Amino acid sequence: MRRALTIASAACALTVGLPTSAFAEETLPANAYYPLIGVSLIGLAVAAVLLVQALRVRRLAVGGAISAKMSYVILAILCLAASALTEWAVNFASGVTIAQAQLAREVLVIMAMAFLAAYFYSVRAAMNAYLRSMKADEPAASAPVHVSEPSRG
């Protein structure tokens, strides 16, 4: 776990530390925005369907370990939907550059991955605890039962 945390923090530091915005081109042809907006619309629609399905799973599994942690998945989906909406900020909000929108989109995707990692870690921890408790109860249930033979007499 410590190794994964070290790798993730190094990747985040590299992502934030590199001067990618200095190399980004600020002008795109007017017709280049339409495919970007179309793709972001598709992404937004998929995120909406995913959110509905996550809420249905949460309602279905009420009281279980999966349902209790589903808020992480919902937050991840909201981050992905907001990431899809950042393409629109360049076109419809004044003062937003392409580099700022790209940075915001990348940060939102990283946040979504972090929420999903937290979800899977917590579900795995809950399942491990459950399996350990099942193994602790197993020897008592599987102990040999001595049945005495009826006496003939």
Summarize pLDDT for 132-151 with one digit per residue, the tens. 988 887 765 555 555 566 66
Q: State the Cα–Cα distance between residues 13 and 34, nearest whole angstrom.
A: 32
How many CB atoms sit inside 10 A of residue 109's CB?
16
pLDDT, the chain, mean: 75
User: Which of 1-5, 12-16, 110-114 has the least mean pLDDT?
Assistant: 12-16
Contact yes or no for 39/88 (Cβ under 8 A): no
Residue 61 is classified by DSSP as T
Task: Please report which confidence band the pLDDT of residue 16 belongs to, taking 50, 70 and 90 as the band edges.
Answer: very low
- The helix/strand/coil state of 148 is coil
Q: Which residue has the higher pLDDT, 69 or 105?
A: 105
Could you identify the residue written with the tokens 């949460």?
Answer: 58
The residue ranges of every structural domain in the chain are 30-130
Q: What is the pLDDT of residues 84-100, one digit of tens each?
A: 888 777 777 788 888 88
Output the pLDDT for position 113.
95
**pTM attached to this predicted model:** 0.61
